[in-house]
Amino acid sequence: MRKDMFQQVLEELKSSSADVEASALISTDGLMIASALPQGMDEDRVGAMSAALLSLGDRAARELVRGTLERVLLQGQQGYVIMSSSGSEAVLTVLAKPNAKLGLLFLDIKRAAEALSKLI
C-alpha cells in the first residue's frame, strides 16, 4: 500500500513538469523503493549510483563548509540528473530534459521529496 503511495507521488512529479523524464525513490543504502524509470534502465544500477553520489555530495558539502547538502546536480549533453534527500533514509533521483527550467524543477522536486519523506 505504501509503495502505491510512493508511486503516485512519482507519477504526480512527472505529470506536473514536462521537463521530468523519469524519477525514482531510493533508500540511502541504494535499494529501489519505487520508480518511474524508462523501460530498460537498470534499477539496481540507478539505485547504487544515486546513493553513492548523494553520500559523496553530503561529505563534500560538510568538508568544504558549504552547510547541509540540498541536492546533487549532474549535467550531461542528454539532460540532467538531480538527486535530493527525501528525509534521512531516502534519495529522490530525477532525470530531466536538457532544456529544463531548473528553478521550477527544483521547486517541484523539493515538494515531491517532502511528500515522500512523510510517507517513509
Tens digits of residue pLDDT in 41-68: 999 999 999 999 999 999 999 999 999 9
Q: What is the pLDDT of residue 88?
A: 87
Decide: 54 and 91 in contact? Cβ < 8 Å.
yes
Q: What is the pLDDT of residue 1?
A: 64
Decide: 12 and 74 in contact? Cβ < 8 Å.
no
Q: What domains are defined for the chain?
A: 2-119 (3.30.450.30)
Q: What is the pLDDT of residue 3?
A: 79
Burial bucket for residue 70 (CB in 10 Å: 0-12, 13-18, 19+): middle
Spell out the per-residue pLDDT of the chain, length 120, in tens: 677 899 999 999 999 999 999 999 999 999 999 999 989 999 999 999 999 999 999 999 999 999 999 999 999 999 999 999 998 899 999 999 999 999 999 999 999 999 999 998
For the chain, first and last CA: distance in Å? 12
pTM: predicted TM-score of the whole model, two decimal places: 0.92
